[in-house]
Amino acid sequence: MKDIGRRVGSDPSTVDGWKDNGWKPGKHPKTRVRVRRPEPVCGEPRMYRRHLKAGERCDVCRAANAAADRRYRLTGKR
């Protein structure tokens, strides 16, 4: 094991861990669990775009998007 560790530039304990794992790649230590965003509700920009894509009319989403556009034009902030 020391020879393998020296060749790949790893500590022998790391190589022992690989062997115990059956030489399969393990999970990356910095991998984070992906948290899903909640489903959009009417009145949010995401839902307005979803309605547009589906060819649907939604007055609530359209009014909210118009208000957001107006606010952005006036203040420059979203």
Q: Is 60 helix (H, G, I), strand (E, B) or coil?
A: helix
pLDDT of residue 10: 84
pLDDT in tens, 13-32: 888 888 888 877 777 777 78
pLDDT in tens, 35-64: 998 998 999 888 999 999 999 999 999 999
Rounded alpha-carbon distances, angstroms, from residue 66 to 9, 24, 52, 72? 59, 53, 14, 10
Tokens of 45: 């920009």
User: What's the chain's length in residues?
Assistant: 78
- Residue ranges per domain, the chain? 45-75
pTM of the predicted model, to two decimals? 0.52
Tell me which residue has tokens 């902030």.
77
